Amino acid sequence: MATLTLKNKKPAAKTRNAEGEKRAPVRGKGVSKPRPTLAQAQADRAEREERYQQAQQKRERPAPQRDERPARPKATGFRPEHPPQRGEPFRRDDRGDRPRDDRQGRPGPRAGGFNPDGPPQRAQRGEPVRRNEHRDERPADRPRDDRPPRIDQRRASNRGPDFEPPQRPQRRNNPARQVDAEDGDRLSKRMSELKLASRREADEWIAAGWVRVDGKVAVLGQRVVGDVQIDIDPAARQAQSQLVTVLLHKPIGYVSGQAEDGYEPAVVLFQQENRWKDDPSGIKPHPNHHRHLAPAGRLDIDSTGLLVLTQDGRIAKALIGDDSDIEKEYLVRVEFVGLPGGEPVPEGTLPNAALSNNKLALLNHGLSLDGEELKPAKVSWQNEHQLRFVLREGKKRQIRRMCELVGLKVVGLKRVRIGRIPLGNLPVGQWRYLAPWERF
């Protein structure tokens, strides 16, 4: 029979010594403390009871005996010679032989005190001045006020016929902040007309002290007349150069501006993970690029294409200003539905064949929206189902409303160019920076 030998086997720990008693615990491990016997428990209890009784005796103080208490001192106050009898009022100021006045129950003036019937006395040098001597006057001796009772004129019922409300002080205006039209234009507006900055940027520069008019530091709200020399501090130009413009390919389902009806704004897509990998600008992202980033133009929630988000007020004014003439190009997929009361169109007719040349001419020029005649546009067929629009204005849902006037229904709209900046190969939902050498 073979015998197996286990190597590296640790011997079992000994928990009892040679006499059979349990050994002491090692490193905090072991058996619990043995329970005391009945005799030990009774001895401990008796000892605790004795200590408690001793502590109680120390806390208790023996009450002093009645004979040991000190005698209470007798009061040595004023005692009248004739104490008041039963039924007679008690007089507090009954001080012996002090003189009394004619009033019953009231003492006369004190020696050296204030006497209302005597001549006025002035305190001598070194004597304390009595501030409250008027309190010794009797109510009957005080002068009465013959003025009528006070009337609260804040109530309309208490106002007389000649009542005039108090005039409030006029506000003092700064001469440089007068807003009269005859005094000229606001400085921020003049700077915007000269394309130095947007009106918001101009106000920020003026508040920062970066603008001088004829050599003097401008103030916020200042007006200028005629031809003045406007100097801009280089710090303002440096701050303006750090503003960025973002080109975004907006997907369908995002609104251009503020969130509405549960739809998110397109600016939420401006995140690092959505940046186009082929961005040629070379601009490094910065947290300040999210500040004051606003859309320069609208794009409907059902439309897609190029959307401009910018911090630069000059670019925003150039794109959506009243005098803006930058072209916007769109590709529009349409269907011909006809006009109400018109002749029916055979099924399967292509939109380019159903739309007459006269209607196409109206799309180029001759339509009006909201009572205003539209600017001339460039509208042509891109293919059988798609039109190409080039506009120089941007009214609300302009292309869709123009198509409805000629019997067309828009089923798809995409903006592919703004000025000289094309959408290019920018993927849907991604963005890139406007490069420093690019201009709209």
Is 279 a known active-site residue?
Answer: no
Instruction: Tell me the CA end-to-end span of the chain in Å, nearest whole number.
Output: 99
Give the ranges where 96-198 is alpha helix by DSSP (H): 187-193
Residue with tokens 């910018």: 310
Least Cα distance to 389 among 427, 370, 367 occurs for 367
**Alpha-carbon separation of residue 391 from 330, 332, 376 (angstroms):** 8, 13, 8
> Do 244 and 311 form a contact (C-beta atoms < 8 A)?
yes
> Do 394 and 307 form a contact (C-beta atoms < 8 A)?
no
Q: What is the phi-psi region of residue 59: left when phi exceeds 0, alpha when psi lies from -120 to 50, beta otherwise? A: alpha
d(CA 304, CA 288): 27
b/e 320-330 (16+ beta carbons within 10 angstroms → b): beeebebebbb
d(CA 313, CA 239): 13
Least Cα distance to 198 among 243, 258, 265 occurs for 243
Diameter over CA atoms, the chain? 143
> Do 178 and 172 form a contact (C-beta atoms < 8 A)?
no
d(CA 279, CA 432): 5
**Alpha-carbon separation of residue 284 from 197, 235, 281, 288, 309 (angstroms):** 24, 21, 9, 11, 17
* Catalytic, out of 94, 136, 233, 300: 300
Checking DSSP bridges between strand 304-310 and strand 294-295, what pairing results, if any?
A: antiparallel
Residues marked as catalytic: 300
